[in-house]
Structure 1
Amino acid sequence: MLKRLLGLVGASLGLVFWCEYLVYISVIYQCSWPLPVGDYNDSEDGIRAMVLADTHLLGPYRGHWFDKLRREWQMHRAFQTAVGIFQPEVVFFLGDLFDEGMWVSDEAFQHYVDRFKHLFKVPDAIQVIVVPGNHDMGFHYALAPRLYNRFNQAFNSSSMQIINLKEVTFILVNSMAMHDDGCYLCHSAQVRLKNIADKLDCAQNPSQSKCSNKRISSNTEYSKPIILQHFPMFRESDMVCTDPDSAPQVEKEKPFRPKWDCLSKDSTDTLLSALKPRLILSGHTHHACLVHHQVEKNTEVIPEYSVPSFSWRNRNEPSFFLGIFTRRDYTLSKCFMPRESTVIFTYISGILALVIYSLATICIPTLRQRLRRKQE
């Protein structure tokens, strides 16, 4: 009897261990870095990046405490497993780190930040770069300077900034600053956009007279930038999305509201014309999508990848991107995480099996023994 009880306990612990630990390793290990392309020659070329979006950590107002605990555990385990397996050099978060960042007090916001940095902790050698989302500081209409400043101070972000990693140029865009209505934030973004566009132009054509003030070093080689932002560029809806993990058909049929679901057409054209990017990575929609943009006819087509939500609260099968970026080229692969429906099915099947096992090996034999004793 004792051996059977110990076997039952061991099987129960094994079920939990599989569903809460091993399943993440099993699924994520099936993913891999994309194959190198172009001028990527060896391990020292290019930057290896992991790209996530829309973690939506719950705050004090929404969701049940168990839902909050469960989602944070899932993301923590998946993220730490992925970082341990792939060892990226940089991790990009494309906004909406928090679900209630625009509502909480300063004290609660600091608690939010501490939780995020604990759940998504990385080794010192890995850089974490964040762009803000509307849930982090509010939509444009509700974006107060206090909300904007506290997020920027916590994550060293701004309305728009340029960073260079291993000669690869990334432009980080605050989507809520791209309304072009003259507000303090939009004005700052426009000034920064012009300055960044001039720097890129001077890097590409350093002999121009306007580049004599050395706003960018003359020996800096030009690298077409990659835009990272929360909102997707303008599109009428998700009907153009054909990815297997794109939005359900009902959601695809809903038209996008510019400045709410995507950037406006004017802001999109402004960014594309000024920065001339080679790639755009965005979030916000919680679903996958590949869209191609073109500034003018006969110009290069610019791909935009919408990165799905990293939270099981938003998707049954969340995912993230792995990317290798060089000065001229890039290559991407998408990594899926365990389906929640599969984990739930495993739990239900395992519990049923354990119940049947306990009935067959413990309960029924015990009842039979008692009946025999009574008969005797």
Structure 2
Amino acid sequence: MQQSSQTQPSTSSIARSCANNILAIFLFPFHVISKITQKLLNPAKRNQRRIHSRSPAFTFKIIWTFALLIGEVFIFSYSMQKCSWPEHESWNTTATEPVHVAIIADPQIIDDYSYGRTGILQKISEIYPDMYMRKNWINLQHIFDPDAIIFLGDLMDGGRELDDNKWDEELHRFRHLFIPEKPIKTPTFYLAGNHDIGFGEHIIPEAFYRFRKVFGAFSYMTKLGNHSIIALDTIALSGSNNNLKKDAKKLMQRLNNDTTNSFPRILLTHVPLHRPPNTDCGPLRQKGHSINQGAGHQYQNLIVESLSNDIIDNIKPSLILSGDDHDYCEILHGEIPEITVNTFSFAMGVNRPGFLLLSLYNPSNDNSTETNFTTFAYSQCLLPNQIRIYIWYIILFIATIFCIFSQAFLKLRRNSEMLPIWHRYHQKRKWTIFTSQYWKMIAKEVGDIALIAFIIYLGCWIWFLI
């Protein structure tokens, strides 16, 4: 008896098939343009047979439906599904599961202070980055179901500048964007950024205390997965106001005086620590190769060298996580890795925003740092290039308009050539100046396509807003 076997398609072949289908959808308008151009340039061949005019409107309704579903929904899910929680090969995850933490940096929601725009331009500048982050936030929770989430600061772009009433409005907006799906199961931790409170000598006390009242202490220690997570207010430590930085100094002293074998420590700081000039950030950085020192109004690219050394000497971290720069950077302080996490917003100057997936695995519950394996693993997860999606929409829009105009032009021309010969000269003169019949035809077909596209687009947005 012969046994039959079926070969299961591989993941890579399925991915290639999906990619080819998506590419075919976007290339279809150009195929239509090519066919129409051939007809325009070859009238003799066209006249050899009778051609029945078919409107491309129905085809473009289908194309726009698929394009919007892909560009507004599926590409966001697909980008995250390519990522996974990292694990070290030495971990025995069948006995003990790692604790999974999502690290988000610099959402920096756009406000009145971001670009100096007004009216509808300002609303557009706010709505589209908000919607981008909302989609990714929902997918992050659904796909990864993290055990904890950490925001590394710069929650708002102009938080330090806002009065109390406006700040409350922006706070409501931030909370609406980042609604936790499982608030009890998934704790969320926050750091303050320089856009939230200012920096160093120029921290705005009102903004400082307002932020602390809502989001809690700036410097604190908590435990996740048998690791000590240490949030340190390096922004206040960079100034001379003892009232603002006293909590951070006390935490550093307490950790330095801790003589017990504590859990492995992970340091959280909004601003990256000092490193030598032109220190390479690794291949995952998108713009430039390094983060170099620089300072200006209410910002500083790096914590100064002396303070950075004090922080490392006192806290003795196993891993450092930072934000502020908006782009990914991975360096070593001796043997201690520091990861600067991508911004979560597409409005912050990088093509591919992202976040960090952090897995913590320390099954021994004895507060010991003496382990013979790595207790953490991390990986970057990139989000879609929103600008590229908009460019595809623009290209598809131009292709749609060209095809509709060309098809209407051909239809009127064919109708004129089917008339008795003594009417042809008059008819050709008529359609060459584009009559109202031509424009009505254009308006109807474009309107039909636009209506379908608008309904699909609105439906995609409502799906993520409810």
Q: Normalising to structure 1: TM-score of the pair? A: 0.84
Q: 2:376 aligns with which of 330, 355, 365?
A: 330
State whether structure 2 residue 353 is matched by structure 1 residue 318.
Answer: yes
* Counterpart among 42, 56, 59 of residue 111 in structure 2: 59
SS in 2 for 1:148: helix
Can you give the 5+ residue segments of structure 1 that lack an aligned partner in the other structure? 205-221, 295-300
Greater Cα shift, 235-244 or 65-74 = 235-244
Shift of 1:371: 6.6
**Residue by residue, what CA displacement relative to the aligned partner does 1:164-213 show, whole Å, maximum 9, x if unpaired?**
12322100112212226352112232122212433x433x1xxxxxxxxx
Equivalent position amino acid for 2:314 in 1: A
DSSP 3-state at the match of 2:112: coil
Matched, 1:102 2:150: no
Give the equivalent residue in structure 1 for 2:342.
308
1:234 partner letter: H
Which structure has the greater CA radius of gyration? 2
Q: In structure 2, how many angstroms separate the alpha carbons of the residues matched to 1:52 and 1:280?
A: 14
1:143 pairs with 2:195:
no
Note closer, same or farther for the CA distance 1:293–1:106 as it changes in structure 2 (3 Å cut). Answer: same
- Shift in CA distance, 343/138, structure 1 to aligned 2, threshold 3 Å: same
Alpha carbons 1:57, 1:98 under 8 Å: kept:
yes
Residues 43-58 of structure 1 mapped to structure 2, 5 A cutoff: 44-58=96-110
Q: Which runs of 4+ in 1 moved over 6 A?
A: none
Match of 2:235 in 1: 176
2:218 and 2:232 in contact (8 A); partners too: yes
Amino acid at match of 2:341: V
Kindly indicate whether the alpha-carbon contact (under 8 Å) linking 1:159 and 1:185 is maintained by their aligned counterparts in 2.
no
| 2:265 corresponds to 1:225 | yes
TM-aligned CA distance change 1:21 to 1:179, over 3 Å:
same
CA displacement 1:142-167 (0-9 Å, x = unmatched):
323321121112212x2310001232
**TM-score normalized with structure 2 length:** 0.68
Pick which of 270-279 and 338-347 moved more: 338-347
| CA drift at 1:99 | 0.5
Q: Give the deviation of 1:32 after TM superposition.
A: 1.4
The structure that is helix-richer by fraction is: 2
Distance 1:43 1:148, change over 3 A: farther
CA contact (8 A) 1:180 1:267 kept: no
Deviations 1:313-337 (A, max 9, x none): 1211111111101236101111111
Compute the displacement of 1:91 (Å).
Answer: 1.3
Distance 1:3 1:194, change over 3 A: same
SS in 2 for 1:54: coil
Deviation at 1:30, TM superposition (A): 1.2
1:190 counterpart (249, 263, 275): 249
CA spacing shift, 1:371–1:110, aligned 2, 3 Å: farther
Say whether 1:81 aligns with 2:133: no
Percent of aligned pairs sharing the same letter: 21
Counterpart among 155, 161, 165 of residue 224 in structure 2? 165
Tell me the alpha carbon deviations over residues 313-363 of structure 1, each in whole angstroms, 9 at most, x when there is no partner. Answer: 121111111110123610111111112343133213322332344345555
Alignment check: 8 A CA contact 2:113 2:157 kept: no
Q: How many residues align?
A: 348
Secondary structure of 2:228's aligned partner: strand
Structure 1 residue 308 displacement after superposition: 1.6
| 1:1-376 matched pairs, under 5 angstroms | 4-42=56-94, 44-63=96-115, 64-124=122-182, 125-156=185-216, 158-179=217-238, 181=240, 183-198=242-257, 200-202=258-260, 204=261, 222-248=262-288, 252=290, 255-257=293-295, 260-294=300-334, 301-314=335-348, 315-327=350-362, 329-359=375-405, 361=407, 364-366=410-412, 368-369=414-415, 372=418, 375=424
1:192–1:180 Cα change, 3 Å = farther
> Gaps spanning 5+ residues in structure 2: where?
1-52, 116-121, 363-373, 428-466
**Cα distance in structure 1, aligned partners of 2:415 and 2:255:** 83
**Could you tell me how far 1:56 is from its partner in structure 2?**
1.1
CA contact (8 A) 1:170 1:225 kept: yes
- Contact 2:282 2:331 survives alignment (8 Å): no
| Residues 62-106 of structure 1: CA deviation (Å, up to 9, x unaligned) | 233212211111111122122211111111111111100000011
The answer (yes or no) to whether the contact 2:265–2:316 under 8 Å persists in 1 is yes
SS at match of 2:114: coil
Amino acid at match of 2:250: V
State the 1:3 CA deviation: 7.8
Cα 1:356–1:193 change in 2 (3 A) is same
What amino acid maps onto 2:158 in structure 1?
E
Letter in 2 for 1:26: Y
The change in CA–CA distance for 1:266 and 1:307 in structure 2 (over 3 A counts) is same
CA drift of 1:40 comes to 4.8
Report the secondary structure of 1:286's partner residue.
Answer: coil
8 Å CA contact 2:321–2:340 kept in 1: the answer is yes
Shift of 1:2: 9.9
Deviations 1:220-275 (A, max 9, x none): xx3121001101011244542233324326xx485445981111212111111111
Q: How far apart are residue 44 of structure 1 and its match?
A: 4.5
Aligned partners of 1:233 and 1:264 also within 8 Å: yes
Secondary structure (helix, strand or coil) at the match of 1:281 reads: strand
